[in-house]
Chain A
Amino acid sequence: MTDASAQPQTSKHSGSLLEQDARTRRRNAKEARFKAYGIAAILVGVLALIVLLWAILSNGLPAFQRAIVQVDMTVTQEEFDAAEGTLFKTKEYEKLFVTALSSQMMAAGIDANFEGKALERLLGKVGGTIRAYYRENPDQIGEVVTFDLAAASRIDRYLKGSLKREDIGPDNRFIQPEDFDVADAMREAGLLKQVFDWNFITGVDTGVDNPGGAGIGASVLGSFFMMIVVLFLALPIGVAASIYLEEFAPKNRFTDFIEVNISNLAAVPSIVFGILGLAVFIQFMHLPQSAPLVGGLVLTLMTLPTIIISTRASLKAVPPSIRDAALGVGASKMQSVFHHVLPLAAPGILTGTIIGLAQALGETAPLLLIGMVGFVARYPDTFLGGLEGPNSAMPAQIYNWAARSDPVFTEKAWGGIIILLVFLLAMNIIAIILRRRFERRW
């Protein structure tokens, strides 16, 4: 029946195992090459990550600093009265300031001469600021007051090293080559220095004429309001939908249809959700444009599939014995789910929700379509105003800055990315801690 008895040919493996034949060597070389490709691929991926992070940090960190000129000055009552009596009041204050500045430079042993124009190029119009201060705080007259005055954005960039002396031509309207000498001298005297720029974190967007003063604060608040909307809609709806699908849904066409819809929505490009928001919420329902409420609604619809998928996974992880135990003591199906299954699945659900929120926080494209890129230069007054009033969001604000030509705004965009990533990092760490802390193995 079989030919098993046929004699095999002389063995092909007659050589000693202790020495590799040529073919094995070739095959092993191939093996090593293939393995090297794998390592190379991973290194390329990690390298990309490093370059990306390096680009973000090196370009973005300067945005958190700004150059100020710190000058102590005393204005006596006589000087105040005299200045208020002249025609060009701010000019007088400027003179007082120059005097104070010069004396402090002298004290530091540095000699430099100022002219009003140069000072204006370095600091802007300081006279007005000083006058406004003393008019508001007359009790400070005669006292020593320390003024922190923002340096011009070009001096700021000079200090940060992104603007070089040789970049500036002699006929530049904003800055002159000799201004750098003055700046260097002031820095040496300890008057010009870099400080942490709180205004970048708390401030609002500014126009193109004042790039240095732009802050991300208002759009952080816009993002915050959107996340509130997403949390309060997506979490309950997502959990309810998952409970239905996992615990109650009969196996029928309707259920299948819902499942197909969810898995497809998870892969629909985000821009399409933007179109949905524009057409349904703004065109059809006449909700206000640029409002975090609408942004939140759009992001809710986008995040739902993510939350549903992770919630169902955590519901599925609760063993059926728990359900049987509850049903066994006479609880209704609904009670067994809400009293026993849901609390056990809660950590997993929360983790999934936080990750969904983090995704929503970084999403930009749909926000562009519902008009959240407008110029918003104020904080909302009320909670409702925060929801309904026009606002921006962090990623949209970053996009907005990136699209402007001034390099200071570019720096702000990178800085904004750092803040956005800090938020995302925090959310992911919370999610990881939750998972570590409450993860249960059945």
Chain B
Amino acid sequence: MSAFWLLLLVLGIALVSYVLGRGRALSSAGGDIRNLHSLPVYYGANAALFVLIPSLILLMLWMVAQPLVVGARVQASIPAEAVSEGSTIGLVMSDVRRVADGLDLAVAQGVIEPSYATTSDTNLTEVRERLGDVGVALGSDISVTVLTAAQLLRETNASWYFWRTVLVVALALAGLGYAYSMTQKDFRARNTVERVILYLLIGAASIAILTTVGILFSLIFNTVEFFRIYPASEFFFSLTWSPSFGGGSELGILPLLWGTFYISLIALLVAVPIGLLSAIYLSEYASPAVRSIAKPLLEVLAGIPTIVYGLFALLTVGPFLVSFFGQNGHFGVNWMAGGTAVMTAGLVMGIMLIPFVSSLSDDIINAVPQAMRDGSLGLGATKSETIKQVVLPAALPGIVGAILLAASRAIGETMIVVLGAGAAARLSMNPFDAMTTVTAKIVSQLTGDSDFASPEALVAFALGMTLFVITLGLNVFALYIVRKYREQYE
């Protein structure tokens, strides 16, 4: 029985349990709900929870454990000599899984008989053809070992699925029986149900932790794997990035980091002055009418998805810049070979960050007490002198925090650089050259049909780890600064 139907079955049992529990509570109170400790719904809910919680926990654990245990058992059955030179047991196992999945699919579509899929004397070529019919393309050769292992995998899985159904249903029924037996009018059903709800709430709040753990787990695990097959010193200090899927790649991160920082720098050079000055104008000078128009207009820029900015960079800003700085351009300088360049991506990213910088700075400038401005204006300072010499210095820590947050945004931005910055990793000072970034290379290394076990694919995780560490560091530091700043004026 598939997990989906099993889940429905358990839900059905829970519903029955709800009705039974509620009924029993009412009858124990002689039909008068005033004699009950809690409202009748709580007795029903209590009974349903006793069915759901244990059986669903079991189901979940089972779903995690089964692939691990069964996989280990099948792997143990593969003789060591079956793993050919240059291959790993992991690759063989992924073949085994693919064949087993293919057999499942073929049986489900009625292409082959269930018995045929299990017998040991099936014809290898025929299996390949049949699997090809249902759309499972296999490598050139499946050995007998792989086929046998796949069959073992299917058999073991089938029996595990059977026991899973039996045990989960049994546990659900046991829960029903237990809840039914303890339901009577003095039972404090509401307290039990509320405690369970509280645990559910805690569980939901813990998802944030689980997500962080998941991110760290997926990054660290694969990064370690990568450093096992590629030297870390090369990764961190090599000046060349030239992956080739045939092997012999050079995967130095420095050119990518340079591209990332160069583009982010240009983005900040655009976004910080414009964002900061607009925030100052809006919070210190603008009349309410101007403010109520200009502020939402700027914020529209923040609501536009990054893919739109990416396209804007690639198809509008890039060609526009080339018409000035490219060959035969209006400036006649021939600095720019193509539309994708550091400048293209940086300018567009800067536009994207304007509302981010301006709304953060707006909050921060507004947090500076009015008394400070009055003090300065009362001494005969002009508004701009007040802003430049009193308000901004007072807001400086907050503004630095906002700029750091914007920098972290720029470093982690993907779509604009994928489309607008180019694909060539190079260490150059010319902002009109195409360069590439950490995020763009994560995308290019993980899309396409590369083998997950190769260094060329695994390097993406090491890049991701680097990106995560840098942005996390910036964020933590920036949030710390901003919080300290806020406390100062509270």
Contacts and interface: CB of A to CB of B under 8 A. Distances in A.
A63 to B, nearest CB: 13
Interface in B302-319: 303-312, 314-316
Interface of B is mostly: helix
A261 B212 contact: yes
B297 A49 contact: yes
B411 A269 contact: yes
B443 A45 contact: no
A31 B384 contact: yes
A330 to B, nearest CB: 12
Given A272-B412, A279-B221, 19 more contacts: A34-B384, A42-B298, A48-B354, A49-B300, A236-B204, A258-B208, A264-B476, A265-B208, A267-B405, A267-B408, A269-B408, A269-B467, A276-B215, A276-B218, A279-B222, A284-B218, A361-B305, A365-B415, A365-B443
Interface in B235-275: 273-275
A261 B197 CA distance: 22
B211 A271 contact: no
Contact of B383 (A31, A243, A332, A364): A31
B413 interface: yes
B446 interface: yes
Nearest to B483: A263
B460 A368 contact: no
Nearest to A245: B205
Given A46-B297, A271-B443, A275-B464, A241 B306 contact: no
B325 interface: no
B294 A42 contact: yes
B211 A265 contact: yes
Contact of A283 (B202, B351, B418, B452): B452
Contact of A240 (B200, B280, B439, B443): B200
Candidate in A236, A284, A358 with the most chain B CB atoms within 10 angstroms? A284
B473 to A, nearest CB: 11
Contacts of B281: 35, 38-39, 41-42
Given A305-B208, A364-B307, A269 B471 contact: yes
B170 interface: no
Contact of A265 (B200, B212, B301): B212
24 contacts: A31-B382, A35-B384, A45-B278, A48-B301, A49-B298, A55-B312, A240-B204, A241-B205, A244-B198, A244-B204, A265-B208, A267-B475, A268-B471, A269-B409, A270-B412, A275-B442, A278-B218, A278-B446, A279-B218, A364-B414, A365-B418, A373-B447, A402-B314, A424-B304
Interface in B268-301: 273-278, 280-282, 285, 294, 297-298, 300-301
B271 to A, nearest CB: 10
Given A269-B412, A362-B306, A414-B311, A304 B211 contact: yes
Contact of B274 (A28, A41, A258, A428): A41
B419 A402 contact: yes
Q: Chain B interface: which size bin?
A: 35 or more
B382 A38 contact: no
A31 B300 CA distance: 29
B219 interface: yes
Interface in A122-162: none
Interface of B: 67, 190, 194, 197-198, 200-209, 211-212, 214-215, 217-219, 221-222, 273-278, 280-282, 285, 294, 297-298, 300-301, 303-312, 314-316, 351, 354-355, 358, 382-385, 387-388, 405, 408-409, 411-415, 418-419, 439, 442-443, 446-447, 452, 460-461, 464, 467-468, 471-472, 475-476, 479
Contacts of B219: 272, 275, 279
A35 B298 CA distance: 18
A43 B409 CA distance: 24
B467 A271 contact: yes
Given A48-B354, A362-B307, A28 B298 contact: no
B282 A42 contact: yes
